[in-house]
């Protein structure tokens, strides 16, 4: 009985999954993304297996070619390229997912507030959102990333640490990537707040917070998922370019962006050092975008 009820209740999700699966590009995107995640997570085990230390600079083996333990050779400081690419993947994907989720929290809050309360608050919040969307965001991000954390009262040690650079880039990207999610959540909230089950909850005495969390939010999950999947790609690109420009993840912690830091000068001597990280970014983002596109179709209410 119970199992049946749950199975039936999952029907919309099963339908969506079936529609998603039919989309071959989206499905391959998903496979590629899973493979990339496995690739990144395999860094530490592989490092141990090969008995090398990817952070260990060894100037004697700069630019050395492949070998039995260094499958993709060495970089300009003699570090193992493959393992650093794998660790870089953890950082790049980690920043991407964390900043998208944090941005989603901001976007959901703003979208719910604007859509549910409407009126002047809605007008104000949406003007604000449109204003942010129109701005040239990269220079703004650079300004935010250039802030000296010690002037905000953090210790100098923390400010220089790569943990700080991780949190900072997650935070500043989240500060600008919420807009799309906010607009989608607002639009869905607007339509849901007039639905009779929400009115019924109000009549029965439920407070605003309870209604938002229990009646509205669960019913806007689908558009949120679609929006997040579409935002993730651009977030990964933002992390890459900021780290590349020296405003993101601080070396020696590798990210796919900052592994390209020196690539421009080295492009003639060691082109592969410039090609690998960029190729990984490209493959990741295109996979994510294919997934996002597939989710959009699969979650399209007109198809339900």
Residues of the shown chain interacting with another protein in the complex, contacts defined by CB under 8 A: 1-2, 5, 8-9, 127, 131, 133-140, 142-144, 146-148, 151-152, 195-197, 199-207, 210, 214-215, 218-219, 233, 237, 240-241, 244-246, 257, 260, 263-264, 267-268, 271, 274-275, 277-278, 281-282, 285-286, 288-290, 293
Nearer to another protein by C-beta: 22 or 210? 210
Measured distance CA(57)–CA(67) in Å, rounded? 17
Rounded-to-10 torsion of CA 180, 185, 186, 192: 160
Find the shortest distance in angstroms from Cβ 78 to another protein: 22
- Contact at 8 Å (CB) between 145 and 167? no
Shorter beta-carbon distance to another protein: residue 47 or 180: 180
* 133 vs 163, beta carbon nearer another protein: 133
Asked whether the beta carbons of 283 and 34 are under 8 A apart, the reply is: no
Q: Which tokens is 32 given?
A: 């590629």
The minimum distance between CB 163 and another protein, in angstroms, equals: 19
**Residue 128 Cβ vs another protein, minimum distance, rounded to whole Å:** 9
Output 170 or 198, the one with its CB closest to another protein.
Answer: 198
Whose Cβ is closer to another protein: residue 67's or residue 191's? 191
Residue 219 tokens, joined = 């019913």
Q: Which is nearer to another protein, 44 or 200 (CB)?
A: 200
Nearer to another protein, 8 or 68 (CB): 8
**Are 250 and 160 contacting, i.e. CB atoms less than 8 angstroms apart?**
yes
Task: Output the smallest distance, CB 109 to another protein, in A.
Answer: 20
Nearest distance, CB of residue 60 and another protein, angstroms? 27
Minimum CB separation of residue 239 from another protein in Å reads 10
Q: How far is the CB of 289 from another protein (least distance, A)?
A: 5
Question: Nearest to residue 80, comparing CAs of 48, 52, 45?
Answer: 52
């Amino acid at each position: 009985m119970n199992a049946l009820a749950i199975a039936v209740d999952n029907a919309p999700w099963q339908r969506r999954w079936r529609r998603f699966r039919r989309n071959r590009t989206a499905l391959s995107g998903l496979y590629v993304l899973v493979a990339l995640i496995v690739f990144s997570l395999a860094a530490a085990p592989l490092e141990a297996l090969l008995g090398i230390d990817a952070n260990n600079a060894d100037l004697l083996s700069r630019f050395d070619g492949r070998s039995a333990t260094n499958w993709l050779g060495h970089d300009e400081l003699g570090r193992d390229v493959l393992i650093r690419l794998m660790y870089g993947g953890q950082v790049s994907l980690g920043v991407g997912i964390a900043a998208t989720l944090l941005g989603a929290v901001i976007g959901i809050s703003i979208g719910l507030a604007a859509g549910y309360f409407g009126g002047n608050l809605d007008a104000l919040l949406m003007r604000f959102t449109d204003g942010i969307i129109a701005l040239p965001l990269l220079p703004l991000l650079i300004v935010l990333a250039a802030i000296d954390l010690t002037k905000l009262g953090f210790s100098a040690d923390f400010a220089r640490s790569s943990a700080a650079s991780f949190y900072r880039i997650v935070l500043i990207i989240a500060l600008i990537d919420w807009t799309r999610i906010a607009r989608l959540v607002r639009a869905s909230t607007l339509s849901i707040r007039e639905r009779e089950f929400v009115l019924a909850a109000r009549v029965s005495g439920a407070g605003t917070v309870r209604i938002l969390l229990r009646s509205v939010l669960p019913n806007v999950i689908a558009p949120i998922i679609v929006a997040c999947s579409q935002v993730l790609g651009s977030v990964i690109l933002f992390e890459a370019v900021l780290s590349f420009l020296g405003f993101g993840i601080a070396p020696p912690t590798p990210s796919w962006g900052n592994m390209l830091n020196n690539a421009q000068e080295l492009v003639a001597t060691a082109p592969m050092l410039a090609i690998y990280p960029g190729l990984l970014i490209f493959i990741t983002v295109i996979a994510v975008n294919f997934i996002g596109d597939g989710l959009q179709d699969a979650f399209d209410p007109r198809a339900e």
